[in-house]
Amino acid sequence: MSLSNPAESAADPAHGKAGRTRARGLPAVGAASVIAAAASYLILFLAARALTPEENAQFLTFWAVLFFVLGVLAGIINEFTRAVRSAATGSGQAGPAPGAAVFPLGLLIGCGAAAVIAASSPLWAPSILPDDTVLLVAVLSVAAIAYAGHCSVAGAAGGLQRWSLFAGLAGSEALLRLLLVVVVALAVSTRLGLEVASAAGALTWLLILLFARSSRSALRARADVGRAALLSNTGHAMLSAAATAALVTGFPILLRLTTSLEQYAGAAPLLLAISLTRAPIMIPLQAFQSVLISRFVGVRGTALVRAIAGPAAGLIALGGVGAIAAGLLGPWIMLVFGPAYVVAPLTMAALTFAGCLMAVLTVTGTACLARGAHAAYSVGWVVATASTFLVLLLPGSLEGRVILSLLVGPVVGVLVHLAALLTLVRGRKTGSPQEEGTGQ
């Protein structure tokens, strides 16, 4: 997919120079996504080898809670990318006054998230994190504030199309998390130590700002709207991100809430298989999500539908090929984590295809967000999550409920997003009120 207009680049030398700079930065985003995926694989491998299956099930649950929190806050990246990019291209709604400064608002959101985690913890933490509950809640709260800063800087970098900085933030965060986990695994090899090390990676952006002076320009970036509108838009993005995180990284939480303790204790192989089959497609796609938002911001009408049709078709085709490969090779790869990690070929194949359907949902949701359809973006993800949860409540085997839920949920969400996008296109064609504006 082209990320710039060649005709514009030819007509505008400055635009062409900026386009070439952005193009040089995009491979760095790809490299960062590979680093992030590899780091996650290695951490899961280290945990599986260092802990018993029962301890690893607890670690994977904390991992899911941690990345659920980080995933919700990642909504900041998406909205700040859209808002800063829109302001930079002059299509914002702030009027003669400059829009809101994004970085302070991002930190404020992080503090609010930390307060919500701490205040609500008595309702969920004792059952989901039964061991070291108070300490782990404190770790999650600090990680929320730290990661909000990371998201604010990354979102500003994406909106300014400074992809090298964007990639540096993503790649270095994954590497620092991996380094800390390796140190803990070699030194003490305890579940609690691995959990704290996993959360500490959220502090990486502070090191980048300290040693890379050029990165500090992202701290001064402004949005296309004022503070109240930006808060509202970011709230929609974070609501959608919460639903995304519940499906992508927080799925073990949904499974834990719908499964008996005895059955869940033996779920480590299936939980690990879900993570392994999703990571190769979802981690790179999430790394490039800001690139897609920046691209979709300037696309109107039927061109937007065409812009998402290619990636969606490619992801479905990739899902089919990947499912065959996962069915053949996946069970053998799982045994690398230990003899207890036995998963059937059909399960590995189905989970891989479900992961690609999740990727399609991410693309359609990104298109809605980029076009300012914040409500449709949120509704699609929330409906997908609700559908997944409801299917998990059905009777049946653990593997059957998991596979069916991960297939049904994304499909329902995609249909909601597509319906909203087609409504925008038809409204534009008939001359009815224009596409849903920012903040609606």
Of 375, 394, 386, 393, the C-alpha closest to 413 is 386
pLDDT at 96: 45
Phi, psi of 222 (to 5 degrees): -125, 155
Residue 222 pairs in a beta bridge with 101
pLDDT at 345: 94
Answer whether 224's CB lies under 8 Å from 93's CB: yes
Question: Quick one: DSSP state of residue 129?
Answer: S
As a whole number of angstroms, the distance between CA 173 and CA 152 comes to: 14
Return contacts of 50-58, CB within 8 angstroms, 24+ apart.
50/185, 50/189, 50/194, 51/189, 51/191, 51/194, 53/266, 53/268, 53/269, 53/338, 53/340, 53/341, 54/265, 54/268, 55/191, 56/268, 56/272, 57/264, 57/265, 57/267, 57/268, 57/271, 58/131, 58/191
**Quick one: CA torsion of 127, 74, 107, 137, rounded to 10 degrees?**
10
Tokens (6 digits) for 200? 């500490």
As a whole number of angstroms, the distance between CA 317 and CA 311 comes to: 10
Phi, psi of 244 (to 5 degrees): -60, -50
Tokens (6 digits) for 279? 């990571």
pLDDT at 144: 96
As a whole number of angstroms, the distance between CA 235 and CA 108 comes to: 13
Q: How would you write the pLDDT of the chain (440 residues) with one tens digit per residue? A: 333 333 333 333 434 444 454 555 667 777 887 888 788 889 988 988 888 888 888 898 899 899 889 989 988 998 898 889 888 776 544 444 568 899 999 999 999 999 999 999 999 899 888 888 999 999 999 999 999 999 999 999 988 888 888 888 989 999 999 999 999 988 888 899 999 999 999 999 999 888 887 788 888 889 888 889 899 889 888 887 787 777 777 788 788 888 887 777 778 888 888 888 887 788 777 767 777 777 777 666 677 777 888 888 889 999 999 999 999 998 998 888 888 888 899 999 999 999 999 999 988 988 888 777 878 888 998 899 999 999 999 988 888 999 999 999 999 999 999 998 888 777 655 554 444 444 44
pLDDT at 434: 44
pLDDT at 1: 33
DSSP string, 94-121: -TTS---BHHHHHHHHHHHHHHHHHHHH
**Residue boundaries of the structural domains of the chain:** 6-430
Tokens (6 digits) for 242? 């919460």
pLDDT at 16: 47
